[in-house]
Amino acid sequence: MKLGTGVAASGLAAKVTILEPMRLGAGPRPVPPSDTIRFAILGTGIEGCSLLTSSLPIPGVECVAAADLYDSRHIAAREALNGKDIETTREYGRLIDRKDIDAIICATPDHWHRRIVEEACQAGKDVYCEKPMSHTVEDGAAMVAAVGKYHRICEVGSQRVSSILYAKAKEIWDSGKLGMVDTIQAAWDRNTDFGAFQQPIPPDASPRTIDWDTWLDGAPPRPFDPDRFFRWRRFKDYGAGLAGDLFVHLLSGIHFVTGTNQPAERAYASGDIFYYKDGREYPDLLWTLYDYPKFKVVLRCNSNNASEGEFFRFYGKNGTMVIDGNSLTYRAEASSHQMDSYTIYGWPRNLREQYEAEWNKEHPLPQVGAFKVEDETEVFTLPPGYSDHTQHLANFFHAMRTRQHVVEDEVFGNHAALGCHLANQSYFNRTVAVWDAAAQQIKNT
C-alpha cells in the first residue's frame, strides 16, 4: 500500500492510501497451453465486448468463440480481442455443445439468462452470468437449482464484489469501527440519454442483420423493432429497468460489504416517468426503501440529474463510510456522549452548574499526550488503470480451477436480483412488496 496525505472533507489532513491490486490468479504462472481455460461468450453487445477486452490481461484463459444474433457484433467481438480469429455464429447452442469449451460467459439481455445458464450447466460448462442474474423470481430459483444439480461454478457479473475498494470497505465494516449502523444509502444517478437507455441505433440494424425472432425467445411476438432490440432495458419482457440495471450493482456491493446473503425482507418503491416519455414501461426515477434485519437501505436511481453521481454511504454511530467513484472515505463521528450545553438552558443556574460539575467529574480530561483524535479521517483510492471487471473475471476462472465457490455465486446473485424484483413489484403495484422466504415468492401487502 502506498501512503500519502490529502485533505479530507473535514478540512483536516487525511491519510490517503492507494490500494494495491490483487494478483490475477487464474492459475499458477506460466500456465501451460494444455491447462488453458477456453471460454465462449454469448452476447457481444455493450457488456460482452467489454468483458472480452477485460479478459485479455488474465493469464491462462482464452476466448475461442462468440455467439450473437446481430452479425455486426461478430466483428465487434473479434475487434475486442485485438483481431483474434475466433468462431462466431448466431447459434449459441453450437458453442454450448462444443466439447473443447470449458466455460460460457452469458452477456445477453436478462430474458435469455435462465435458458443459457440451464443449458450450459447441463452441458457441463461453468458459467459467468451477467447481472441481474434472473429476469423473474421463478427464473432465479431455477438457475440456482441448475447450478447445484450439475455441480457447476457460477459467478454473477456485478464486478464491484471483486473490487479492492469494496474489499477495503468490508474490512472496515468487519472491524466494527463504524459502530452500530442503522442506515445505508446508495445512489446511481445519470443525466444522459444513453444513460437513460436511449442508446444510438447502428445504421445497419435490420431484419437481415439481426435474428429478431430468436432474440424475442418466449416474449410476445411483434414485428422487428430496433428500438426494443437495442433499448431493451425499458421493457418488462426483456429487462428490469433501473432496478435490474443499476440497483443490482448497489445491492451486490452492500450485500458484499455487510456480509449479507439474503434478500431484503420488504421493499417500498416510488418513482415515475418524468422526462423519458418514449413508450418505456419502467420509471426514469426510482427510489426504494428496503428493510433488512439489522439496517435500512435507501436506493435511488435518477436519470434526470447526475449531480451526485454514484455513491454508497454507511451511517454508523461511531463513523461514516462513503464509497464515491474510485475512492473510499472513513470519517469518525464526534462522540455521541457529550456534555449537554443546550437543553440545560431551561434550568436555573445552580442546577446547570451542578450538572456541569458532575459531568466533568465523571469525564475527566485525558492526560497530556493521551488525547484521541476524534475527527479521524482515512481515504483509500484505486490505482490508475485498475479494473474490477478484470478482477471479477479472474476470480471466476480461479474458482474454475480450484472448484471453490466465488463470493458472488448463484445464491448471492439471486438474492441481489430479488431485491430488484421487490423494487419493481412495489413500484408497479403501489404497495409494499414482501419477500416470503418460505414460499420463495414476493407478496404484496
Ligand X SMILES: NC(=O)c1ccc[n+]([C@@H]2O[C@H](COP(=O)([O-])OP(=O)(O)OC[C@H]3O[C@@H](n4cnc5c(N)ncnc54)[C@H](O)[C@@H]3O)[C@@H](O)[C@H]2O)c1
Binding residues for ligand X, per CB under 6 A?
42-43, 45-48, 67-70, 73, 92, 107-110, 112, 130-131, 157, 159, 214-215, 245
| Minimum separation from the CB atom of position 254 to ligand X (A) | 16
- Residue 22 pairs in a beta bridge with none
φ/ψ of 122, rounded to 5, equals -60, -30
67/137 with CB nearer ligand X? 67
Cβ-Cβ contacts under 8 Å for 305 (sequence gap 6 or more):
189, 191
d(CA 410, CA 159): 14
> Least separation, in Å, of the C-beta of 433 and ligand X?
21
Nearer to ligand X, 65 or 379 (CB): 65
Q: Which residue has the cell 445497419?
A: 204
Q: What is the C-alpha to C-alpha distance for residues 313 and 185, in angstroms, rounded to an integer?
A: 5
Beta strands in 71-147 (DSSP E): 87-89, 103-106, 126-129
Minimum Å gap between C-beta 286 and ligand X is 16
Shortest Å distance, C-beta 212 to ligand X: 9
Q: Do the Cβ atoms of 24 and 391 come closer than 8 Å?
A: yes
Phi, psi of 362 (to 5 degrees): -80, -20
CB of 223 or CB of 346, closer to ligand X: 223
CB of 23 to ligand X, least distance (A): 22
d(CA 256, CA 262): 11
Q: What's the min distance (Å) between Cβ of 245 and ligand X? A: 6
> Please, which residue, 81 or 178, has the CB nearer to ligand X?
81
* Closest distance of CB 109 from ligand X, Å: 5
- Of 111, 413, 417, the closest CA to residue 236 belongs to 111
Nearer to ligand X, 199 or 304 (CB): 199
Q: Judged by CB, which is closer to ligand X: 193, or 376? A: 193
Closest residue to ligand X using C-beta atoms: 45
Q: What is the rounded distance in angstroms from the CA atom of residue 8 to the CA atom of residue 445?
A: 44
Residue whose CB is less far from ligand X, 112 or 282 = 112
Extended beta strands in 339-436, E state: 377-381, 433-436
Closest CA to 124 of 145, 144, 104: 104
